[in-house]
Amino acid sequence: MGVRLRSRDQTATYGMAHKKFSSSEESTHEQIQGENYGYCFFDSCGIVHKEFVPPGQTVNHSFYKDVLERLRKQVQQVRTDIADDWVLHHDNAPAHTALSIREFLAKKNIPVLPHPPYSPDVAACDFCLFSKLKSKLKGHHFGTMENIKKFVTDELHTLTENDFRYCYDQWKKHRNDCVTSQGSYFEGDNL
Protein backbone atom coordinates (compact mmCIF):
# COMPACT_ATOMS: atom_id res chain seq x y z
CA MET A 1 0.00 0.00 0.00
CA GLY A 2 1.40 3.40 -0.80
CA VAL A 3 0.53 7.04 -0.88
CA ARG A 4 2.21 9.98 -2.50
CA LEU A 5 1.55 13.66 -2.32
CA ARG A 6 2.93 16.30 -4.56
CA SER A 7 2.96 20.02 -4.88
CA ARG A 8 1.11 21.40 -7.86
CA ASP A 9 3.87 23.75 -8.86
CA GLN A 10 6.99 22.15 -7.40
CA THR A 11 8.75 18.84 -7.80
CA ALA A 12 8.24 18.02 -4.12
CA THR A 13 6.29 14.81 -3.59
CA TYR A 14 5.12 13.00 -0.54
CA GLY A 15 4.78 9.31 -0.11
CA MET A 16 3.38 7.01 2.44
CA ALA A 17 4.78 3.61 3.15
CA HIS A 18 2.61 1.05 4.86
CA LYS A 19 4.96 -1.75 5.83
CA LYS A 20 3.99 -4.90 7.68
CA PHE A 21 6.76 -6.17 9.91
CA SER A 22 6.24 -9.89 9.83
CA SER A 23 7.76 -13.12 11.07
CA SER A 24 10.73 -12.93 8.70
CA GLU A 25 12.00 -10.01 10.80
CA GLU A 26 11.07 -11.60 14.12
CA SER A 27 13.46 -13.24 16.49
CA THR A 28 13.45 -17.00 16.87
CA HIS A 29 14.54 -16.57 20.50
CA GLU A 30 11.63 -14.47 21.72
CA GLN A 31 8.40 -14.62 19.78
CA ILE A 32 7.06 -11.17 18.97
CA GLN A 33 3.33 -11.02 19.52
CA GLY A 34 1.28 -9.96 16.51
CA GLU A 35 2.26 -7.86 13.58
CA ASN A 36 2.96 -4.19 13.28
CA TYR A 37 2.64 -1.71 10.47
CA GLY A 38 4.42 1.53 9.90
CA TYR A 39 3.66 4.61 7.87
CA CYS A 40 6.31 6.87 6.47
CA PHE A 41 5.27 9.98 4.58
CA PHE A 42 8.05 11.48 2.55
CA ASP A 43 8.69 13.95 -0.20
CA SER A 44 11.56 14.52 -2.60
CA CYS A 45 13.46 16.24 0.21
CA GLY A 46 12.99 13.63 2.93
CA ILE A 47 10.66 12.27 5.58
CA VAL A 48 7.74 14.48 6.56
CA HIS A 49 5.93 12.20 9.01
CA LYS A 50 6.41 8.68 10.37
CA GLU A 51 4.32 6.61 12.72
CA PHE A 52 3.69 3.02 13.68
CA VAL A 53 0.22 1.54 13.86
CA PRO A 54 -0.62 0.61 17.45
CA PRO A 55 -0.72 -3.16 18.05
CA GLY A 56 -4.18 -4.57 17.43
CA GLN A 57 -5.34 -1.48 15.53
CA THR A 58 -7.24 -2.26 12.33
CA VAL A 59 -6.08 -0.14 9.41
CA ASN A 60 -9.48 1.00 8.17
CA HIS A 61 -10.91 4.23 6.77
CA SER A 62 -11.45 5.68 10.24
CA PHE A 63 -7.86 5.08 11.29
CA TYR A 64 -6.55 6.25 7.91
CA LYS A 65 -8.49 9.51 8.23
CA ASP A 66 -6.73 10.14 11.56
CA VAL A 67 -3.39 9.40 9.91
CA LEU A 68 -4.19 11.87 7.11
CA GLU A 69 -5.12 14.54 9.65
CA ARG A 70 -1.79 14.06 11.44
CA LEU A 71 -0.01 14.21 8.09
CA ARG A 72 -1.88 17.38 7.08
CA LYS A 73 -0.82 19.08 10.30
CA GLN A 74 2.77 17.90 9.87
CA VAL A 75 2.90 19.22 6.29
CA GLN A 76 1.75 22.60 7.61
CA GLN A 77 4.59 22.57 10.12
CA VAL A 78 7.51 21.18 8.11
CA ARG A 79 6.63 22.10 4.49
CA THR A 80 5.22 25.57 4.95
CA ASP A 81 6.03 26.51 1.34
CA ILE A 82 3.45 24.04 -0.01
CA ALA A 83 1.23 23.59 3.06
CA ASP A 84 -1.83 24.89 1.20
CA ASP A 85 -0.99 23.51 -2.23
CA TRP A 86 -0.27 19.80 -2.40
CA VAL A 87 -1.88 16.87 -4.15
CA LEU A 88 -2.37 13.41 -2.65
CA HIS A 89 -1.66 10.31 -4.70
CA HIS A 90 -2.59 7.12 -2.95
CA ASP A 91 -3.36 3.62 -4.17
CA ASN A 92 -6.80 2.06 -4.40
CA ALA A 93 -6.81 0.27 -1.05
CA PRO A 94 -10.29 0.24 0.47
CA ALA A 95 -9.17 2.44 3.38
CA HIS A 96 -7.95 5.02 0.84
CA THR A 97 -11.04 5.06 -1.37
CA ALA A 98 -13.76 5.00 1.29
CA LEU A 99 -16.43 7.68 1.03
CA SER A 100 -15.41 9.13 4.41
CA ILE A 101 -11.85 9.59 3.12
CA ARG A 102 -13.01 11.26 -0.09
CA GLU A 103 -15.25 13.56 1.95
CA PHE A 104 -12.43 14.37 4.39
CA LEU A 105 -10.03 15.21 1.56
CA ALA A 106 -12.64 17.38 -0.16
CA LYS A 107 -13.42 19.20 3.10
CA LYS A 108 -9.70 19.87 3.68
CA ASN A 109 -9.21 20.93 0.03
CA ILE A 110 -6.66 18.19 -0.64
CA PRO A 111 -6.88 17.16 -4.30
CA VAL A 112 -6.19 13.53 -5.19
CA LEU A 113 -4.15 12.29 -8.14
CA PRO A 114 -5.86 9.04 -9.21
CA HIS A 115 -3.97 5.76 -8.96
CA PRO A 116 -4.45 3.38 -11.89
CA PRO A 117 -5.94 0.01 -10.91
CA TYR A 118 -3.58 -2.96 -10.61
CA SER A 119 -0.49 -0.75 -10.82
CA PRO A 120 1.92 -1.57 -7.99
CA ASP A 121 4.76 -0.21 -10.14
CA VAL A 122 3.33 3.29 -9.61
CA ALA A 123 3.49 3.08 -5.81
CA ALA A 124 6.89 4.58 -4.99
CA CYS A 125 6.85 3.04 -1.54
CA ASP A 126 6.67 -0.43 -3.05
CA PHE A 127 9.37 -0.05 -5.69
CA CYS A 128 11.70 2.32 -3.87
CA LEU A 129 11.39 2.65 -0.10
CA PHE A 130 10.46 -0.94 0.74
CA SER A 131 13.30 -2.40 -1.30
CA LYS A 132 15.80 -0.36 0.71
CA LEU A 133 14.21 -1.34 4.03
CA LYS A 134 13.74 -5.01 3.15
CA SER A 135 17.39 -5.47 2.25
CA LYS A 136 18.42 -4.00 5.62
CA LEU A 137 15.85 -6.01 7.62
CA LYS A 138 16.55 -9.35 5.97
CA GLY A 139 18.33 -11.86 8.17
CA HIS A 140 18.20 -9.79 11.38
CA HIS A 141 16.68 -11.06 14.60
CA PHE A 142 15.26 -8.21 16.66
CA GLY A 143 13.74 -9.86 19.72
CA THR A 144 11.01 -7.28 20.27
CA MET A 145 8.75 -5.09 18.20
CA GLU A 146 10.35 -2.05 19.83
CA ASN A 147 13.72 -3.18 18.44
CA ILE A 148 12.20 -3.46 14.95
CA LYS A 149 10.70 0.03 15.25
CA LYS A 150 14.02 1.49 16.38
CA PHE A 151 15.92 -0.26 13.58
CA VAL A 152 13.43 0.91 10.92
CA THR A 153 13.49 4.47 12.28
CA ASP A 154 17.28 4.51 12.29
CA GLU A 155 17.40 3.15 8.73
CA LEU A 156 14.91 5.74 7.51
CA HIS A 157 17.14 8.47 8.93
CA THR A 158 20.09 7.17 6.90
CA LEU A 159 18.29 7.90 3.62
CA THR A 160 19.55 11.03 1.92
CA GLU A 161 17.77 13.74 -0.02
CA ASN A 162 19.26 12.14 -3.16
CA ASP A 163 17.52 8.86 -2.26
CA PHE A 164 14.17 10.65 -2.08
CA ARG A 165 14.81 12.62 -5.29
CA TYR A 166 15.68 9.36 -7.07
CA CYS A 167 12.46 7.84 -5.75
CA TYR A 168 10.48 10.80 -7.09
CA ASP A 169 12.18 10.58 -10.50
CA GLN A 170 11.40 6.86 -10.67
CA TRP A 171 7.80 7.54 -9.65
CA LYS A 172 7.44 10.00 -12.54
CA LYS A 173 8.95 7.44 -14.94
CA HIS A 174 6.60 4.70 -13.72
CA ARG A 175 3.57 7.00 -14.09
CA ASN A 176 4.67 7.89 -17.63
CA ASP A 177 5.10 4.18 -18.43
CA CYS A 178 1.58 3.57 -17.15
CA VAL A 179 0.24 6.32 -19.45
CA THR A 180 2.23 4.91 -22.38
CA SER A 181 0.74 1.46 -21.80
CA GLN A 182 -2.73 3.08 -21.71
CA GLY A 183 -3.37 1.55 -18.32
CA SER A 184 -2.55 -2.01 -19.36
CA TYR A 185 -0.87 -4.17 -16.76
CA PHE A 186 2.91 -4.51 -17.00
CA GLU A 187 5.76 -5.38 -14.68
CA GLY A 188 8.98 -3.43 -14.35
CA ASP A 189 10.17 -2.05 -17.70
CA ASN A 190 8.27 -4.65 -19.76
CA LEU A 191 5.72 -2.41 -21.51
Domain boundaries, the chain: 2-180
Confidence of residue 36 (pLDDT cuts 50, 70, 90): low
- In SS3 terms, 88-140 reads as EEECCCHHHHCHHHHHHHHHCCCCEECCCCCCHHHCHHHHHHHHHHHHHHCCC
Task: Express as a percent the part of the chain with pLDDT over 90.
Answer: 19
Which residues fall within 8 angstroms of residue 174, CB to CB, at 6 or more apart?
A: 121, 122, 124, 127
Q: Mean pLDDT: which of 33-37, 50-54, 132-136, 181-185 is highest?
A: 50-54
Give the pLDDT confidence of 45-99 residue by residue, as tens digits. 888 888 888 888 888 999 999 999 999 999 999 999 888 888 787 888 888 889 9
Superfamily in which the 2-180 domain is placed by CATH: Ribonuclease H-like superfamily/Ribonuclease H (3.30.420.10)
Give the pLDDT confidence of 162-173 residue by residue, as tens digits. 998 888 888 888
pTM, 2 dp: 0.76
User: Residue 39 half-sphere exposure, CB side, CA atoms within 13 Å?
Assistant: 21
Q: How high is the pLDDT of residue 190?
A: 59
